[in-house]
Chains A and B, each alone.
Chain A
Amino acid sequence: MAATITRPETDVSELEDLSYELREKLLLLCGEYDGSVHIGGDLSCADILTLLFQYGMHVDPQDLHNPERDRFVLSKGHAAVCMYITMAIRGFFDYREIVDTYGQLGSAYGMHPCKVQLPGVEVSTGSLGHGLPLATGMALHGKRSGMDHRVFTLMGDGETGEGSVWEAALAAHSNNLGNLVAFIDRNRQLMTSFSEERVKLEPYPDKWRAFGWNVIEVDGHDMAALVQAFDSLPAPDSDVPTVVICDTVKGKGVDFMERNLAWHAGSLNDTDLQRALASLAHGRKAA
């Protein structure tokens, strides 16, 4: 494993706390920001991003360009604010600055991440289906250079309707990229519909297996299971790319947003913010 960057020693209950903190900070930002936030898809991937940034990945906020760092490509770029806040919790950015400047003229923090404006972000994304080809190129560099870091990407399940995803799936398999790991936020919702009603992705794991990928299926909101899945990843010098299909709920943690098409994106007035925070807190007690 990467020698000069150590992973945080976070246990499952600490990770659950960090996930809660992430969701709470997301909602607070949503309450302060006048515009629309992709809150549904942020909440569905909050646990995955917590797993990666607070547990799994070898990254160092003080050493952004260390060649031995693990790389992360947010293919579902519309979840940028969730990534910013996770990264802020890890020490990359200042949460208050994100809240105070989000979406404003001159801010580095916008709806989709821009690496040029925000060092620490590996790749500028936003248009769906671009992350896996980009991550494939980055993993190809690592593989052919004999380096042992990993390249992670996070896709939404909806965006795997893009043909470019499957082009890259072919290329990653053909080039034996065992250092490439794709997490999929399988929340089963597109913007305007439930995916299996409009686009039948199932049998979804079989599709990835047919493309030659190692498939791990996991409950994307069960932190212990996510940690176990991460720990079971093949070594970076192995020859088969891995996809971790995370069964998730869009809007997870806020009862009136869960599996609700109205909450693909939105903003929160004071009343809704209090309702959302109360729901989040209630869910934590119940768990």
Chain B
Amino acid sequence: MSTAAKTGTEPGTDQITSFTFGELLSSRTVIGQTLKELGETHDNLWVLTPDIGATLVEFRDAYPDRFVDVGLSEQACVGIAAGLANEGNIPVVSGMLPFLSMRALEQVRSDICYPNLPVKIVGTHGGLVGNGGSTHYAVEDLGLMTSLVNMTVTSIGDPLMVGEVLRQSMSMTGPLYIRLAVGKKDKVVYEPGSVTVEIGKGITAREGTDLTLFAHGETVSQALDAADILGAEHGINARVVDMFTLKPIDEDLILRCAEETGRFVVVEDHLAYGGLASQMADVIADRGIRLDGFRRLGIPQVFAGFGEDTELRDKHGYGLQATVDAALAVTGGRPAESESTGDIA
């Protein structure tokens, strides 16, 4: 992306940015407000949904001629979006990710990615969230989406970032996938204006020298909490990187973190294989990066049951305590002796 911008500094977002750092905010509300705002400046912006439209009401009411709810028809929804994009429009498809990423996968691949159309897919239920059970958890989606040629893949926790990424995406020529958790109550991770959001670039959410915790989506907050515990209880200075763009992955940042911290822990609300850790492992192997430690935390090969999000993460070994434990394991439980232990081949 050529444009970089600060969160919450764009005109028209005053209402959203009145929320403060650390508060809970609905990503869905941010999406609704942002789409309404963008609908005014982009008369070719369309919003489509397969019956998941509660927070799209503002857009629908403002631009009824550019809103389509097809009902429960994910395949047609994505195909119609592709048809609209074929006519020069910028369609945003909003829905639940388990269904958009799997039921409509072939439409996403062949109708959107193949001709490289600017369709955005934004949705909720990425990871073990919402207590819906395995039909309603998107846990393979990042593996599927990162496999697709031309697709840009993001996973976002901070609700204000969702709006920013949507704004930036208006100038993108190809498709974009935006993954959210439940999207009802999301922690504002970054003080508005404090970080640069640029699609394709990771965000260093916390500086640190002993290891880097890589995360995306809701696990960014968890990684930050783990870093606090590591600092307070073990004297370990953990860096936290919000790798909100999984594709294209920020290789330079991975290289820099390897040089500067030498040890990686990746924690994500996705199958442990196929998501961010796998993307990073590819870079590490391809670039010949030698690390002093690498751990991946994510969902094992199970269909997870019911429970609260944090309970499920604990149960399946990628919760807060597991993150702290993995960091202790790769660091040997103590701060690194030198600031630079990474060795780049």
B70 contacts the other chain (CB 8 A): yes
- Asked if residues A130 and B73 are in contact (CB atoms below 8 Å), the reply is no
- Asked if residues B76 and A141 are in contact (CB atoms below 8 Å), the reply is no
User: Closest A-chain residue to B91, C-beta based?
Assistant: A137
A275, B67: Cα distance in complex, Å: 55
A126 contacts the other chain (CB 8 A): yes
- Asked if residues B86 and A164 are in contact (CB atoms below 8 Å), the reply is no
- Asked if residues B83 and A124 are in contact (CB atoms below 8 Å), the reply is no
Within 8 A of B (CB), among A125-152: 126-127, 129-130, 132-142, 144
* Chain A residues within an 8 Å CB radius of B337: none
A115 contacts the other chain (CB 8 A): yes
Question: Given A144-B66, A164-B107, do A133 and B76 touch, yes or no (CB 8 Å)?
Answer: yes
Give the A-B contact count at a CB cut-off of 8 A.
94
Please choose the segment from A26-34, A36-44, A103-111, A166-174 that sits at the chain B interface, where 4 or more of its residues have CB less than 8 A away: A166-174
- Asked if residues A167 and B73 are in contact (CB atoms below 8 Å), the reply is yes
Within 8 A of A (CB), among B29-70: 65-66, 68, 70
Q: Is the interface of B mostly helix, strand, loop or mixed?
A: helix
* Chain A residues within an 8 Å CB radius of B116: 116
* Chain A residues within an 8 Å CB radius of B87: 137-138, 141-142
Within 8 A of A (CB), among B73-98: 73, 75-76, 78-87, 89, 91
A123 contacts the other chain (CB 8 A): yes
- Asked if residues B79 and A168 are in contact (CB atoms below 8 Å), the reply is yes
- Asked if residues B75 and A163 are in contact (CB atoms below 8 Å), the reply is yes
A175, B77: Cα distance in complex, Å: 13
B132 contacts the other chain (CB 8 A): no
* CB-contact partner of A133 in B107, B114, B115, under 8 A: B107
Q: Is the interface of A mostly helix, strand, loop or mixed?
A: helix
- Residue of B76, B79, B107, B116 most packed against chain A (CB within 10 A): B76
- Asked if residues A127 and B68 are in contact (CB atoms below 8 Å), the reply is no
Q: Chain A nearest CB: distance from B149 CB in Å?
A: 12
User: Closest B-chain residue to A164, C-beta based?
Assistant: B75
A80, B81: Cα distance in complex, Å: 23
A123, B76: Cα distance in complex, Å: 16
* Chain B residues within an 8 Å CB radius of A142: 87
A132, B114: Cα distance in complex, Å: 17
A114, B89: Cα distance in complex, Å: 20
B106 contacts the other chain (CB 8 A): yes
B235 contacts the other chain (CB 8 A): no
Question: Given A137-B82, A140-B83, do A124 and B107 touch, yes or no (CB 8 Å)?
Answer: no
B110 contacts the other chain (CB 8 A): yes
- Asked if residues A135 and B73 are in contact (CB atoms below 8 Å), the reply is no
- Asked if residues B79 and A144 are in contact (CB atoms below 8 Å), the reply is no
* CB-contact partner of A123 in B68, B70, B86, under 8 A: B86
Q: Chain A nearest CB: distance from B66 CB in Å?
A: 7
- Asked if residues A134 and B106 are in contact (CB atoms below 8 Å), the reply is no
A137, B71: Cα distance in complex, Å: 15
User: Closest B-chain residue to A116, C-beta based?
Assistant: B115
A122 contacts the other chain (CB 8 A): yes
* Chain A residues within an 8 Å CB radius of B242: none
- Asked if residues B75 and A137 are in contact (CB atoms below 8 Å), the reply is no
- Asked if residues B110 and A137 are in contact (CB atoms below 8 Å), the reply is no
* Chain B residues within an 8 Å CB radius of A133: 75-76, 78-80, 82-83, 107, 111
